[in-house]
Structure 1
Amino acid sequence: MAGDKDQKTHDPTDKRLDDARAKGDVAQSPEVRHVFGFVGMLIATGSVGTIAFARLGTALARLWGNAEAVPLGPVGTHALIRSLCGVIGATLLPLFASLIGCALLGGVFQARPMVIWSRIAPRWSKLSPIAGAKRLFGMRALVEFAKTLAKLIGVGTIAGLALRPFVGGFETLVGLDPIAIGTVAGGVVAQLVRSVAILVGAIALFDFVYQRRTWLAKMRMSLQEIKDEHKQQEGDPKIKAKIRQIGMQRARRRMMAAVPDASVVITNPTHFAVALKYDHNRGSAPIVVAKGTDAIALKIREVATAAGVPLVENRPLARALYASAEIDRPIPVEHYAAVAEVIGYVLRLARARR
């Protein structure tokens, strides 16, 4: 039985998953980030890249055409460098923005963004050669190596197949102007990136499922861990039962202390007992000061007898009051008539004694 409790065969609870996410332990597939990286490359080689490089070419052609008008002194050289840096920066900024944005989306797609300071803080254990050897030669590293090798072979094959239709036309590029060569090269690169992106997307889908299943398997819990977590959230059942027992004992003592002040105790006669207090001067409904069954009912009768509180046997009324009335609360309206008869009988009995 102890071995069964220690086996991690149960699905992780929501709290365990939330705690793991708070520590930065989430299912992450690097292949998904690669897919988003290729999407960024497609954007860079697509319309955004075409427009950006067209603007760069126009600016450089304008600068080259007016080269004789540029002074080569210190002031003119600084102005030329600033102009070149501005043109190149304006050209490359949207390209880098698309690449960086897609790379960030690759991480956000798999898990919500968060800052884990404990992961940022330096750890001396990462500098340990033994720990590094375990990471390099462990099962996870072996799986990653096999996956990388298979991906490299697949990417090389797809790249070769994608470039094969263009190989025969490369010789026609000789003698063409740079703009024509750039157009052809841009088409070749776009086709190559699209073909490789499809392959990487398929690999990413498989890897995402694999990483998710592996992470959930690592998060599995044993029966003892589930019990311990439940105790932390809800409290120890033994402690809660002890607190509940102490509360019931205190409530019972207060209830017994109020029995001597009762006006009457209605009994079953042995299984139920309900003590009522009626204040004739206030004119309000009788108050239930104590009630109980079996041993508690016997104790109520003993305390009432010792205090001189009259006992009235009425089996249906005793059962009904015990089931519907609450301690320190007036009796329910539907029992007013029956209780009034009992109170009247007790008052007449008291007058007859006097």
Structure 2
Amino acid sequence: MARLAGETETLLSIQESVLSCADFSALERDVLAPAADYLGAATSCFIQFWVNPTGEIRFGRTAAHNVPERAHQGYLTHHFRGDPAINAASRNFGTMPYVFCTSEVSDYSELTNSPFYNDFFRPNCIHHVMVMTQRPQSRDGDMLIFGFHRPRSDRPFSDTEKHRLKRLASALGCSARTLCLQDDFAMSERAIAEYGAAYPAHGLVFLDDHMRVLYGNRTGLAHLALQDVGGRVRLEALSRACQRALRTSDTADAVSVDISRSSGIVASVRARSDHEGRLVFVVHTNRRNDEAVFETRCREYQLSPREVDITRALAAGLSNTEIAGRLFISVRTVENHLRSIYAKAGVNRRTQLLSRLNDFE
């Protein structure tokens, strides 16, 4: 009984440390180190990765404990291709934690004679490997992996340690996912701030199907001014535009609307669905003179309607991949359109293009 109580107390202490981790800079100290100590591992690592439809693996956030940085980077650049744990994790399509030892998913007599073992495992004193992998329920479809390692001179991981890792799996997965989301949010905030600094006159607002603001940058919220006198009129004008956008046959087309004639505020509205099928209205706002200059420049450069859509998406700070997703075309098609747009405008890159399109002189 005393032993069980001690085991439970230790587990709770480790879980508290894991769940208290505040950011990725502390992941090695607050998560990997105590978990490795609890499981009797000499080294440990965390890896976030995605597998695209062609089977190519792309890595996200990673961290390592007691693994040399050079070795860790070598694994991420090329050694991972021979790792049976990565292959086993890629085949796990469930959202529940999956705990296994490498010896259970590979022939170790073959593995110990493989280039992967001799080029990576052996130089880094790794032989026994225990893994916890989880595919969170997210639109990104990313995979989270925690790996724990022992040298050949040590004993293999036992069923007891696999059971311990399973008990710890929920805390590990929750902590890693929270850190990933925090990092994504911080990155989005930086991108939004950069966009706002580069294009202070452009507003961006997301509305749900009840006309509630899901997100708005400072300029967009100022243009809508829904809490001010006249906010009701602006919202009614937006609502009508949203309904027209919802009915339009070509979802790539935007519906334009004057939302405040007295202030000269115009908006373009598109209806979109998020990854769960929920309706979202994307609203770009601008002052009428700014919009007039933009449209005049587009006509001067003889941009096609599709090229205008792509140029607006560029002004919204979207990447080529995001533009392709928004307009339901391929990235290659976006790139082909951009080459045509650059040639017509006489520029070499997007910053030059946007500068010319918004030039008042």
- With the length of structure 2 as denominator, give the TM-score of the two structures: 0.21
Larger strand proportion of the pair: 2
Give the number of the structure with larger relative contact order, counting CA–CA contacts within 8 Å between residues 6 or more apart: 1
Q: Which has the larger radius of gyration?
A: 1
Larger helix proportion of the pair: 1
